[in-house]
Chains A and B, each alone.
Chain A
């Protein structure tokens, strides 16, 4: 089992460009999450999906959109990247919402110039 996988590992964008971060899990989990991690700020929740077909805003959703494509995949889209979105993005999954353990992917490092 690969667990949670994310692509790409690293990306450089220019301000105003768009991109989609991909996430997939093979643990048959119902719930998936997108976080960003900035120095000294901890992990902050951007969006989450309680189950296939549902998505909800987290703490810092502005500038992002998500799609729960199926039970396995949850993508994060930046429509018009800004330098403030330079960060490391982590996808995570859990058996159900509020489940006690979350399983994280390896992260995507994004630099917006």
Chain B
């Protein structure tokens, strides 16, 4: 069956360190993968999109990798700040009808 897995346990890191979040998927062949940020009580906000033919994409302190062989995306936040504390969702194009399918999200806590 199709599955998108993100670590359901919160990731706690110290300010200034690099946070790395993982998104694994099975039985999908997505043309692209997206990462969203969600703060408590708010809707998700789009951060980055990476296509299947791209290995890596960067935006300011954010970096995303996409390995279609491993069926995995890594999301990195360098020089993390307490303001980066949020839940991060990965989403990928499902196999049916171009719909986005979301992972359960990983909560990141950056401590000062």
Interface, chain A (partner B; CB < 8 A)? 4, 35, 40-45, 48, 56, 58, 90, 92, 97-98, 100-107
Contacts and interface: CB of A to CB of B under 8 A. Distances in A.
A101 B49 contact: yes
B44 A104 contact: yes
B104 to A, nearest CB: 4
B89 interface: yes
B102 interface: yes
B99 A42 contact: no
Contacts of A44: 102
B104 A97 contact: no
Interface residues of B, number: 23
Contact of A40 (B8, B45, B99): B8
A42 B44 contact: no
Contact of A97 (B45, B49, B98, B101): B98
Contact of B45 (A42, A98, A104): A104
B112 interface: no
A64 B44 CA distance: 22
A25 to B, nearest CB: 12
B88 to A, nearest CB: 12
7 contacts: A42-B89, A45-B101, A58-B99, A97-B98, A102-B46, A104-B43, A106-B42
B46 A43 contact: no
